[in-house]
Amino acid sequence: MTASALFHTCYQDLLNGPLSHWLNTLPQQMDSWYRDDLHGEFKKWQRLLGKLPQVPPGNIDLRESVTVGDASSTDPYTQKQIEGLLRQFMPWRKGPYFIHGVHIDTEWRSDWKWERLKSHIEPLKGKQVLDVGCGSGYHLWRMYGEEAAGVYGIDPTQLFFIQFMAVKHFLGEAPVHFLPLGIEQMQPLKAFDTVFSMGVLYHRKDPMEFLNQLKSQLVKGGQLVLETLIVDGDEQTVLMAGERYAQMRNVWFLPSTSALIVWLKRLGFSDCKVVDESVTSTAEQRTTSWMESHSLQDFLDPDDHTKTIEGYPAPKRAVIIATKN
């Protein structure tokens, strides 16, 4: 498949909508995937995507989980084929997914994160929503389960795009789209009623610019749902990690929730509320047969799980909601 064919397969139905002008930049982006695919990995994934069997979706649940069909919705041979193909897209980090009886037991229980925030946010029914840093797109399906009218996720990681396309293959037609972009590549669209960004703020070197970019995607009065790593402390407390935090490179600022609220207010948000704070457990983030490498257990001090292996406070996350003035 060529870049332009891939583009038309994925985004044809968006070309007449509000994102049309901006979407014109995507074919160039996709071109670079083919150009830079030195080991042919992207083309291999695409070939494998093309082999996924066509199975009528059967019962779909997106309200309580991401489930399509069950073990009886196809024959054992097809089920094995589905599992074998999906395993080619490992590591699976965000999920879980249940596809025709195949349980993709991902590293993260992303459903727990959704449970923690779902009752606190503005109802999504009929809304246009954007998820910045959507990973494999798990939460996009849950947003659609809450009857959002248009669901868009952006994430620059190719494997997550492929994983999303694999899940979408089984879920069939839905106004749920993954755009393979980083936030810095998006024009300020001021088009979304709710903008989510979960697990991304601490990866950004300039958190103020990032929060402003999120704001610039919202309509006036729209809601930001921000989930990020935090530390305990007052309005003046922000931890800047060294080379690594819980073995992750690229971790910059971990503010206290009070500091984060000061940032949000200064940037023009109001009604800022902390709706959840929780320490990440090794039950929520762990090694599985779908993500076989190290996970949280290995990133904590073996003698003291309140600390990371580098001696920082162990991962604690907060969900904050705020309104764009």
Ligand X SMILES: Nc1ncnc2c1ncn2[C@@H]1O[C@H](C[S@+](CC[C@H]([NH3+])C(=O)[O-])CC(=O)[O-])[C@@H](O)[C@H]1O
Sequence ranges of the binding site for carboxy-S-adenosyl-L-methionine: 94, 108, 113, 133, 155-157, 183-184, 198, 202, 317
Q: Which of residues 178-197 bind ligand X (CB under 6 A)?
A: 182-184
Three-state secondary-structure class, residue 53: coil
Out of 95, 96, 101, 133, the only residue in the binding site for ligand X (CB under 6 A) is 133
Q: Which is nearer to ligand X, 193 or 284 (CB)?
A: 284
∠ Cα 85 112 148 (to 5°)? 80
Asked if 278 touches ligand X (CB under 6 A), the answer is no
- Print the binding letters for residues 156-175 with ligand X: x by CB under 6 A, - otherwise: xx--x---------------
Mapped onto helix, strand or coil, the DSSP state of residue 218 is: strand
CB of 76 to ligand X, least distance (A): 32
224 binds ligand X (CB under 6 A): no
d(CA 158, CA 315): 26
Q: Out of 130, 167, 171, 198, which residue is the one contacting ligand X (CB under 6 A)? A: 198
Residue window 76-95: x/- pattern of binding to ligand X, with contact defined by CB under 6 A: ------------------x-
- For the bound state, the minimum distance from the C-beta of residue 195 to ligand X, rounded and expressed in Å, comes to 12
Beta strands in 213-315 (DSSP E): 218-229, 238-240, 253-255, 269-279, 300-301, 304-308
Residue 287 binds ligand X, judged by CB under 6 A: no
Q: Site for ligand X (CB under 6 A): which residue of 10, 55, 200, 291?
A: 200
CB proximity list for 64: less than 8 A, separation 6 or greater: none
As a whole number of angstroms, the distance between CA 35 and CA 27 comes to 12
* Token pair for 80: 């094995």
Alpha-carbon distance of 165 to 170, in angstroms, equals 9
In the complex, what is the shortest distance from the CB of residue 149 to ligand X, in angstroms, rounded to a whole number?
21
Are the C-beta atoms of 130 and 223 separated by less than 8 Å? no
CB of 3 to ligand X, least distance (A): 20
Nearest Cα residue to 132 out of 71, 85, 198: 198
| 19 makes contact with ligand X (CB under 6 A) | no
Give 198 or 272: the residue with its C-beta nearer to ligand X.
Answer: 198
* Number of residues this chain uses to bind ligand X (CB under 6 A): 20
Place of tokens 């076989």: 292
CB 310: neighbour CB atoms within 10 A? Answer: 14
313 belongs to the binding site for ligand X (CB under 6 A): no
Q: Is 102 in the site for ligand X (CB under 6 A)?
A: no
Residue 114 has phi, psi (to 5 degrees) of -60, -45
Give the number of other Cβ atoms within 10 Å of residue 257's Cβ: 22
Q: If binding is defined by CB under 6 A, does position 134 make contact with ligand X? A: yes
Among 107, 111, 155, 193, binds ligand X (CB under 6 A): 155
DSSP 314: P
Residue 137 region by backbone torsions, left for phi larger than 0, else alpha for psi between -120 and 50, else beta: left
Distance in Å, CB of 213 to ligand X, minimum: 9
Residues in the site for ligand X, rule: CB under 6 A?
Answer: 94, 108, 110, 113, 132-135, 154-157, 160, 182-184, 198-200, 203
